[in-house]
Amino acid sequence: MDKPLRGADAIARRAAGLWVAFPDVRLHPTGPRLTDGTHASAPAKLLGTHREPLEGLAATNRSVVVHVVFFAELREERLYRVRAFFDVYGAAVQMGVLPRPGTLSGRALLLLRGFGLRPG
C-alpha cells in the first residue's frame, strides 16, 4: 500500500477485499490494551486461510497467523488516528512467498541481499 487509508469508506473497501481473499479471517487479542489517556495500543493476531487472489498473488490455500499491533491517538475520548503494524514478513513466509529462515533458500536470499552466509 502506497499511502495510509483515510476515512471509513476507504477502510471498508480495503477490508472487503481482504475478506474476499481470507473469507474465514478472525481477529483475536493477544494481550492487554494499554493507554495513557492520549494514546492506546492493542496487540492482536489475525487468523485466516488465503482462498482467493489478493493484489496479484494467487490463492495459496494456506492458513496464516499474522501478528498485529494497533496504535491509536485519542482525542476527546475518541479514536483520532489509528495505525496498524503487521508482521508482513512472517505472513509472506507462511504463505510461501518468502523462504523460511535457516533454510538453504533463506540463506540464499540473505546472500542476495548482501548479508553473506552465516555459519550453522
CATH code for position 68 = 3.10.450.50
Distance from CA of residue 75 to its chain's centroid?
A: 26
DSSP secondary-structure letter at 58? P
Model confidence band, residue 114 (pLDDT cutoffs 50, 70, 90):
confident
β-sheet bridge partners, residue 34: 41
> Mind listing the pLDDT tens digit for each residue in 36-85?
999 999 999 999 999 999 888 888 899 999 999 999 999 998 989 999 99
Domain containing residue 27: 8-86
Do 66 and 91 meet the contact criterion of CB atoms below 8 Å apart? yes
Q: Read off the pTM.
A: 0.75
Q: Which residue has the cell 477485499?
A: 17
Q: How many domains does the chain have?
A: 1
